[in-house]
């Protein structure tokens, strides 16, 4: 009986560890003050509040943000592109996001958020976009305050 209990506990612990979140950020490093980041809307992303969260956290760093569709406006030197994917477990939740920041067409920063194993049994997988992506944006723009 003790062996069965130990095996169950070990299995449960393994499942919980397999459902960790992976966040990798290559932050923006520049001595220049960034005044504006333009966000290229990705119509394939079905996370309703994703762009709103991006804008809120960009703005919190003292940087204006503007969303555009299609061709980049001429006054946009910094452009943020993104992808995000939802998964489903009784209700939809954000499981993957990738952010790329370019300055005049050259990559200058990036960030990846990945909920390993689609969150497994972790209850935090149902946290909102703000709780998941907000800290990622803050790390991406850490030098811009």
36 alpha carbon, distance to own chain's centre: 19
Fold annotation for 24-140: Dihydrodipicolinate Reductase; domain 2 (3.30.360)
Question: How is residue 122 written in tokens?
Answer: 């972790």
DSSP 23-79: EEEE----SSPP-EEEEE--TT---TTHHHHHHHHHHHTT-EEEEE-SSPPTT--EE
How far apart (Å, rounded) are the C-alpha atoms in residues 28 and 102? 10
Give the tens place of pLDDT for each residue, 18-65.
457 788 999 999 988 999 999 999 999 988 899 999 999 999 999 999
Delimit the domains of the chain by residue range.
Answer: 24-140
pTM greater than the 0.85 cutoff:
no
Mean pLDDT, rounded, for 70-99: 89
- Amino acid 124: pLDDT: 57
- Amino acid 135: pLDDT: 94
- Picking from 20-24, 28-32, 110-114, 131-135, which range would have the lowest pLDDT averaged per residue? 20-24
According to the per-residue pLDDT averaged within each range, which of 15-19, 89-93, 127-131 is highest?
Answer: 127-131
Question: Is 96's pLDDT higher than 60?
Answer: yes
Buried b (16+ CB within 10 A) or exposed e, 107-119: ebbbbbbbbebbb
- Amino acid 10: pLDDT: 46
């Amino acid at each position: 009986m003790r062996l069965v209990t130990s095996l169950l506990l070990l299995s449960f612990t393994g499942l919980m560890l397999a459902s960790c979140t992976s966040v990798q950020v290559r932050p923006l490093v520049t001595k220049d003050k960034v005044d504006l980041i333009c966000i290229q809307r990705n119509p394939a992303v079905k996370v309703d509040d994703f762009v709103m969260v991006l804008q809120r956290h960009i703005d919190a760093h003292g940087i204006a943000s503007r969303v555009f569709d299609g061709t980049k406006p001429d006054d946009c030197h910094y452009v943020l592109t993104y992808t995000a994917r939802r998964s489903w477990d009784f209700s939809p939740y954000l499981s993957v996001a990738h952010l790329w920041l370019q300055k005049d067409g050259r990559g200058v920063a990036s960030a990846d958020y990945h909920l390993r194993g689609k969150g497994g049994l972790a209850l935090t997988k149902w946290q909102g976009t703000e709780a998941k992506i907000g800290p990622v944006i803050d790390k991406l723009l850490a030098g811009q305050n």
